């Protein structure tokens, strides 16, 4: 019986793909992954070192926690301090520092902050605590957004009036466009995010080969998935082609999950979003529609005062997120900034590039 994990970790098949890569790859190329789960899997499985020397695997802005701007973390911390508020969040976000503090520090100082596994748990918490205001901190890409939209629909249907969401959700394709328009890194291909693509499908990437001449391959997270994706990119480059290909057909279709997409669009409308290291990208955010204003923490807590934003001195997370430097190239990496005492979000988050490289990667053979 197929279980969809161990089969895609087969070392003999991996060796076969690596041999094929050695044979097919004739020119130096740089590919970027834009998903934190890919970053971790590539680092953990030593794939940056395993691929032939002329293939560089760069990490981009793929960790939703890492790209959350300090201003958005500061706002959440200020809301958490309001009377009768229970702040709920996925665990990833809790330790990430804003300008002055983190949710973990605020929790220790007395704010009621709780980690939930699912948005369903947050709605349940609101039902169980009718005298409290339960706010869910909505961070994440298209994989996560449908579940947050569903929680708002659910809360409306069940008349849970004390539930709201602060949406700092982001969508991935506009960030890929922003990176290409910045022109700081020369890319020969994108390894497109597998589980974002489960929801959005492969179509939203088509502008990348069409307008920028850059190949894209959607792939999964096991070592064989990633190697197959890299091979498909190399083969496109070698043939002089640029198109969107799908190496994750067991989960990804051209159109994605239509119900999930409809759920997102029912509750959210496109807006601008502030990305750490990149800045405001038009159309890359998702705001809660007027129709659901009662569940929008941005409206409900609009009067809450937020202190002025301060960036962390010496932290180069912004450049790491844009793929301009490797984590090693930051002066703080592995010295002042380590997972036990992180300074920037890329070292805090389990899916941050700095944390992944610190835990698993050897220093690359060549600099960025």
Binding site for other proteins (CB under 8 A): 2-5, 7-8, 12-13, 15-17, 19-20, 22-24, 35-37, 63-65, 90, 92, 117-121, 139-141, 143-144, 146-147, 150, 193-196, 198-199, 224, 228, 231, 247, 249-252, 257, 259-260, 263, 351
In the bound state with other proteins, the residue whose beta carbon lies nearer, of 122 and 332, is 122
What is the C-alpha separation between 68 and 148, in angstroms, rounded?
Answer: 17
In the bound state with other proteins, the residue whose beta carbon lies nearer, of 140 and 342, is 140
Phi, psi angle pair for 11, to nearest 5°: -65, -30
Helix-helix angle 223-239:36-44, to 10 degrees: 100
In the bound state with other proteins, the residue whose beta carbon lies nearer, of 121 and 206, is 121
Residue 46 near residue 360 (C-beta atoms within 8 A):
yes
Q: How far is the CB of 249 from other proteins (least distance, A)?
A: 4
Q: How far is the CB of 92 from other proteins (least distance, A)?
A: 5
Q: Which two tokens stand for residue 74?
A: 């500061």
Q: How far is the CB of 328 from other proteins (least distance, A)?
A: 24
Phi, psi angle pair for 231, to nearest 5°: -60, -45
Q: How far is the CB of 12 from other proteins (least distance, A)?
A: 7
Cβ neighbours of residue 275 under 8 Å, at least 6 residues apart? 61, 67, 69, 170, 175, 178, 281, 284, 321
Cβ neighbours of residue 111 under 8 Å, at least 6 residues apart? 77, 80, 81, 85, 87, 103
In the bound state with other proteins, the residue whose beta carbon lies nearer, of 3 and 335, is 3
In the bound state with other proteins, the residue whose beta carbon lies nearer, of 220 and 327, is 220
In the bound state with other proteins, the residue whose beta carbon lies nearer, of 111 and 151, is 151
Q: How far is the CB of 305 from other proteins (least distance, A)?
A: 29
At 98 the three-state DSSP class reads coil
Cβ neighbours of residue 135 under 8 Å, at least 6 residues apart? 79, 80, 85, 86, 87, 88, 164, 165, 166, 297, 301
What is the C-alpha separation between 283 and 319, in angstroms, rounded?
Answer: 22
Q: How far is the CB of 94 from other proteins (least distance, A)?
A: 12
Q: Given the DSSP bridges, would you call strands 113-115 and 133-138 parallel, antiparallel or unpaired?
A: unpaired
In the bound state with other proteins, the residue whose beta carbon lies nearer, of 260 and 297, is 260
Q: How far is the CB of 11 from other proteins (least distance, A)?
A: 11
């Amino acid at each position: 019986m197929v279980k969809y994990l161990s089969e895609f970790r087969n070392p003999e098949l991996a060796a076969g793909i690596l041999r094929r890569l050695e044979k097919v790859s004739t020119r130096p190329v740089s590919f970027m992954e834009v998903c934190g789960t890919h970053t971790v899997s590539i680092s953990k499985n030593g794939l940056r070192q395993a691929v032939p020397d002329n293939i560089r695997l760069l990490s981009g802005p793929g960790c939703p926690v890492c790209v959350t701007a300090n201003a958005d973390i500061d706002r959440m911390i200020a809301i958490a301090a309001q009377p009768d508020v229970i702040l709920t969040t996925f665990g990833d976000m809790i330790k990430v520092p804003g300008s002055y503090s983190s949710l973990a520090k605020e929790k220790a100082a007395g704010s009621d902050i709780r980690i939930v596994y699912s948005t369903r748990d947050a709605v349940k918490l609101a039902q169980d605590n009718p005298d409290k205001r339960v706010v869910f901190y909505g961070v994440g890409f298209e994989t996560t957004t449908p579940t947050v939209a569903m929680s708002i629909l659910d809360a409306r249907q069940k008349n849970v009036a004390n539930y709201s969401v602060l949406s700092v959700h982001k969508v991935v394709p506009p960030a890929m466009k922003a990176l290409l328009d910045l022109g700081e890194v020369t890319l020969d291909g994108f390894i497109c995010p597998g589980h974002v693509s489960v929801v959005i499908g492969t179509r939203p990437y088509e502008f990348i080969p069409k307008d920028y001449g850059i190949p894209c391959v959607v792939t999964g997270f096991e070592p064989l998935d990633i190697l197959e994706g890299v091979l498909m990119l190399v083969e496109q480059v070698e043939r002089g082609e640029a198109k969107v290909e799908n190496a994750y057909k067991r989960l990804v279709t051209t159109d994605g999950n239509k119900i999930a997409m409809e759920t997102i669009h029912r509750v959210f409308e496109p807006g601008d979003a502030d990305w750490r290291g990149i800045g405001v990208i038009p159309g890359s955010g998702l705001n809660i529609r007027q129709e659901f204003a009662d569940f929008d923490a941005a409206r409900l807590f609009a009067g809450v005062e937020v202190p002025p934003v301060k960036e962390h001195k010496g932290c180069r997370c912004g450049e790491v997120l844009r793929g301009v430097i490797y984590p090693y190239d930051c002066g703080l990496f592995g010295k002042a900034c380590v997972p036990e005492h992180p300074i920037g979000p890329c070292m805090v988050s389990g899916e941050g590039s700095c944390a992944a490289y610190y835990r698993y990667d050897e220093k690359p053979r060549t600099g960025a």
